[in-house]
């Protein structure tokens, strides 16, 4: 759960920063466009795809729609608190980058701006110390603005020409005029016009790289597999298209963690992600393709044999991750070197801890007979169990973890379980009891201090199960009458496609992160605001070939409805009545 929680909070934080950055991108162009439109009016007849101008070394790009209706829909998501945070950031950006320069978005920028704009982020190594001193989490390394209407854009010249106090320096790079301004010690821009695109950056070196790309160097759009991926996932109603160079992206994020970027970048993961973002009535949908480089050590299984084990989980399940092959999942998890710098327990530490506490080798003693489908879930205690306040087996945890695995060698599995029971009895002096739960035989361990409960047993079909934490075995045995797959919340969150699939993920944020019953780690105030804006998260993944997987991710968000004036009046009238 810690992995899912930490990953989710980082991703949500990054998403908000991108939203803030999207508002910034229209500003830099407004400040400088008049020079470029007057001095250079060489426009190509066909508007280029903006990602064709982004150098290949960008670790993240986002092409975001400028449709005001979609932005209004985006602003309707979340709670009052999350909306206030977003609106405050947008207001600050507008004040600093539009109003301070004498511009208004609706009057000066919107009339000539194209249908979408592109933001790009580069590694800190690509940036000069002066640029690094600024808040790069908000302002992107590069902004590409399409010029849809030249006539309206020219109006900026008249307005900007009348403004005083601006210093401009002109230079030429590979035949392209570049204009640089220094409004203050903390706000510098380099800009150029390439065809019908205005490119803006705080770093002159990045502008030079963009010009190199314009002249024929490899761009993000021309990287292997990019165009094919976009063709498969592109939709007419998408709000954004994202590209992530995962190793470089994680290395940049890891600069805030204990692991140094140099160590992270040296690890073997080589993976790109291309995804479209669509605004749905109840949340945000992501559909994408993840591509491993042909030389990557990780190879994805060709089989889309998703797990049937979620149908054994109760409808009350709080979170679950399932897949068709636990060994494949573990290999992928362990070899994603860069990702491990962002999670609380690395594969190496997990295996070392298991060896130290239980004397078991994860891969030899356990994983060797766990070759089938699996499901790992967080399940709350039943109301009946919670009501038993004097029950010594009732742990104050509120929920327990359940693991189900279809085994390939039952005799080896039974031998390992017996070895584990003997260790618990002899080394930890904990009671190991053979018991029955709802008529199903199983083995139970209980730590009297803290009330932590553990069980293991067998289900039909050579499926072994383990539980740890609160006593939740009665939620699994016998098979629940109302299963997770029948739960409306699961059905409305977890995408049904791609189908067949190789794995799924579900998290009920409202009943986990936003609940006080599970004794989870306290979130920071910013993380708490973000978490409270989310209801659920669902993910479905399928294999395309050994180097590519396709996924659909849905984040169901709370929605803020603004009452009409008539409703407000009626409400006020009702309040005046006795």
**Nearest in space to 328 (alpha carbons), one of 374, 269, 268, 264:** 374
Q: How confident is the model at residue 5 (pLDDT cuts 50, 70, 90)?
A: very low
Q: Is 57 exposed, middle or buried (0-12, 13-18, 19+ CB in 10 A)?
A: middle
CA 151 – CA 33 distance, rounded (Å)? 12
Residue 220 contacts by C-beta under 8 Å, 6 or more apart in sequence? 51, 52, 54, 55, 56, 58, 61, 120, 226, 243
Please give the average per-residue pLDDT across 530-554, as a whole number.
Answer: 92
CA 66 – CA 63 distance, rounded (Å)? 10
Give the per-residue pLDDT at 31.
Answer: 27
Give the per-residue pLDDT at 421.
Answer: 94
Q: Is 348 exposed, middle or buried (0-12, 13-18, 19+ CB in 10 A)?
A: exposed
Give the per-residue pLDDT at 299.
Answer: 56
Residue 443 contacts by C-beta under 8 Å, 6 or more apart in sequence? 417, 421, 432, 433, 434, 435, 455, 456, 457
Instruction: Specify the higher pLDDT residue, 287 or 270.
Output: 287
Give the per-residue pLDDT at 336.
Answer: 61
Is the predicted pLDDT of residue 367 greater than 50, yes or no?
yes
498: preceding bond cis by omega (within 30 degrees): yes
172: preceding bond cis by omega (within 30 degrees): no
The token pair at 419 is 């070895």
The whole model's pTM is what? 0.81
Rg (alpha carbons) of the chain, rounded to whole number: 27
Give the per-residue pLDDT at 291.
Answer: 86
235-281 tens-digit pLDDT? 878 999 999 988 788 777 666 444 444 444 444 456 889 999 999 99
The token pair at 424 is 């618990």
CA 441 – CA 459 distance, rounded (Å)? 10
What 571-578 contacts at long range (C-beta under 8 Å, 24+ apart), as own/partner pairs, is: none
Q: CA–CA distance from 143 to each of 36, 73, 189, 197, 340 (Å)?
A: 15, 23, 11, 10, 31
Which one-letter DSSP state was computed for residue 389? T
Is the predicted pLDDT of residue 420 greater than 70, yes or no?
yes
CA 451 – CA 474 distance, rounded (Å)? 17
* β-bridge partners, 79: none
Q: Is 170 exposed, middle or buried (0-12, 13-18, 19+ CB in 10 A)?
A: exposed
Calculate the CA dihedral of residues 512, 517, 518, 520 and round it to 10 degrees.
80
As separate numbers, helices (DSSP H) first and strands (DSSP E) second, the chain gives 17, 20
Residue for token digits 């829909």?
73
Q: How confident is the model at residue 40 (pLDDT cuts 50, 70, 90)?
A: very low
| H/E stretch holding 453 | strand 453-459
DSSP states along 529-575: HHHHTEEEEEEEEEEEETTEEEEEEEEEE-BPPPPPHHHHHHHHHHH
Q: Is residue 533 within 8 Å of 557, Cβ to Cβ? A: yes
Q: CA–CA distance from 406 to each of 275, 304, 314, 409, 561 (Å)?
A: 33, 16, 18, 9, 46
Residue 98 contacts by C-beta under 8 Å, 6 or more apart in sequence? 26, 27, 30, 104, 105, 109
Q: Is residue 146 within 8 Å of 114, Cβ to Cβ? A: yes
Angle between helical axes of 525-532 and 2-39 (0-180°, round to 10): 90
444-495 tens-digit pLDDT? 998 876 678 899 999 998 999 999 988 899 999 999 999 999 999 999 999 9
Q: Is residue 48 within 8 Å of 197, Cβ to Cβ? A: yes
Instruction: Specify the higher pLDDT residue, 74 or 98.
Output: 74
Please give the average per-residue pLDDT across 69-87, as a whole number.
Answer: 89
Strands (E), 90-146: 116-121, 142-146
Which one-letter DSSP state was computed for residue 55? B
CA 298 – CA 268 distance, rounded (Å)? 9
The token pair at 303 is 């089989």
Count CB atoms within 10 A of the CB of residue 129.
Answer: 7
Alpha helices in 336-487 (DSSP H): 347-358, 383-387, 410-428, 473-476
Is the predicted pLDDT of residue 10 greater than 60, yes or no?
no
Kindly report the backbone phi and psi dihedral angles of residue 236, in degrees, each rounded to the nearest multiple of 5, phi listed first. Answer: -70, -30
Instruction: Specify the higher pLDDT residue, 47 or 203.
Output: 203
189-238 tens-digit pLDDT? 788 889 888 898 889 999 999 999 999 999 999 888 888 888 888 887 89
Average the pLDDT over each of 181-185, 250-254, 397-401 and give the range with the smallest value.
Answer: 181-185
Q: Which three-class secondary structure state does DSSP give residue 287?
A: strand
CA 412 – CA 409 distance, rounded (Å)? 6
CA 375 – CA 354 distance, rounded (Å)? 20
- Considering the chain, what is the average pLDDT of its residues? 78
Q: Is 288 exposed, middle or buried (0-12, 13-18, 19+ CB in 10 A)?
A: buried
CA 419 – CA 432 distance, rounded (Å)? 12
**Nearest in space to 142 (alpha carbons), one of 79, 190, 214:** 190
Give the per-residue pLDDT at 342.
Answer: 53
């Amino acid at each position: 759960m810690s992995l899912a929680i930490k990953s989710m909070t980082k991703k949500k934080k990054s998403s908000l920063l991108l939203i803030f950055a999207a508002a910034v991108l229209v500003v830099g162009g407004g400040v400088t466009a008049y020079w470029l439109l007057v001095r250079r009016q060489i426009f190509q007849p066909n508007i280029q795809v903006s990602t064709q101008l982004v150098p290949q070394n960008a670790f993240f790009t986002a092409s975001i729609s400028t449709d005001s209706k979609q932005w209004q829909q985006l602003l309707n998501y979340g709670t009052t608190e999350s909306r206030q945070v977003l609106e405050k950031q947008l207001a600050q950006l507008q004040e600093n980058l539009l109003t301070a320069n004498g511009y208004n978005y609706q009057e000066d920028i919107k009339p000539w701006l194209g249908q979408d704009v592109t933001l790009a982020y580069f590694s800190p190594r690509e940036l000069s110390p002066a640029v690094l001193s600024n808040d790069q989490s908000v302002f992107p390394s590069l902004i590409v603005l399409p010029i849809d209407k030249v006539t309206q854009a020219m109006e900026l010249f008249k307005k900007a020409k009348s403004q005083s106090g601006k210093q401009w320096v002109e230079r030429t790079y590979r035949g392209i005029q570049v204009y640089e301004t220094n409004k203050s010690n903390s706000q510098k821009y380099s800009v150029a016009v390439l065809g019908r695109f205005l490119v803006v950056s705080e770093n002159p070196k990045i502008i030079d790289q963009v010009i190199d790309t314009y002249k024929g160097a490899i761009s993000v759009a021309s990287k292997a597999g990019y165009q094919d991926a976009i063709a498969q996932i592109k939709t007419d109603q998408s709000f954004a298209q994202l590209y992530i160079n995962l190793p470089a992206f994680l290395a940049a994020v890891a600069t805030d963690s204990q692991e140094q970027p140099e160590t992270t970048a040296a690890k073997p993961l080589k993976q790109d992600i291309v995804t479209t973002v669509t605004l749905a009535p109840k949340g945000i949908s992501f559909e994408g393709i993840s591509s491993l480089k042909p030389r990557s050590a990780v190879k994805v299984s060709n089989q889309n044999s998703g797990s049937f084990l979620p149908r054994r989980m109760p409808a009350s399940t709080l979170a679950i991750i399932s897949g068709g092959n636990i060994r494949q999942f573990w290999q992928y998890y362990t070899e994603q070197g860069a990702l491990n710098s962002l999670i609380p327990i690395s594969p190496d530490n997990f295996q070392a801890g298991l060896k130290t506490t239980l004397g078991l080798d994860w891969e030899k003693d356990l994983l060797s007979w766990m070759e089938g489908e699996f499901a790992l879930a967080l399940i709350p205690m039943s109301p009946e169990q919670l009501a038993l306040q004097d029950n010594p087996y009732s742990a104050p945890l509120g929920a327990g973890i359940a693991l189900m695995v279809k085994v390939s060698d039952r005799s080896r599995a039974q031998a390992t379980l017996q070895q584990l029971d003997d260790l618990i009895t002899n080394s930890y002096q904990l009671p190991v009891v053979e018991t029955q739960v709802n008529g199903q035989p199983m083995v139970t361990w209980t730590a009297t201090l803290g009330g932590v409960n553990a069980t293991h047993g067998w289900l039909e079909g050579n499926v072994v199960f383990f539980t740890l934490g609160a006593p939740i075995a009665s939620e699994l045995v016998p098979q629940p009458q109302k299963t997770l797959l029948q739960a409306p919340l699961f059905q409305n969150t977890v995408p049904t496609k791609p189908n067949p699939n190789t794995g799924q993920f579900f998290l009920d944020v409202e009943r986990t992160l936003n609940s006080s019953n599970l004794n989870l780690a306290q979130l920071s105030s910013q993380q708490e605001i973000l978490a409270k804006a989310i209801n659920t998260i669902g993910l479905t993944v399928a294999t395309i070939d050994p180097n590519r997987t396709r996924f659909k991710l849905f984040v169901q968000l709370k929605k803020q409805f603004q009452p009409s004036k008539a409703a407000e009046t009626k409400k006020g009238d009702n309040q005046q009545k006795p």
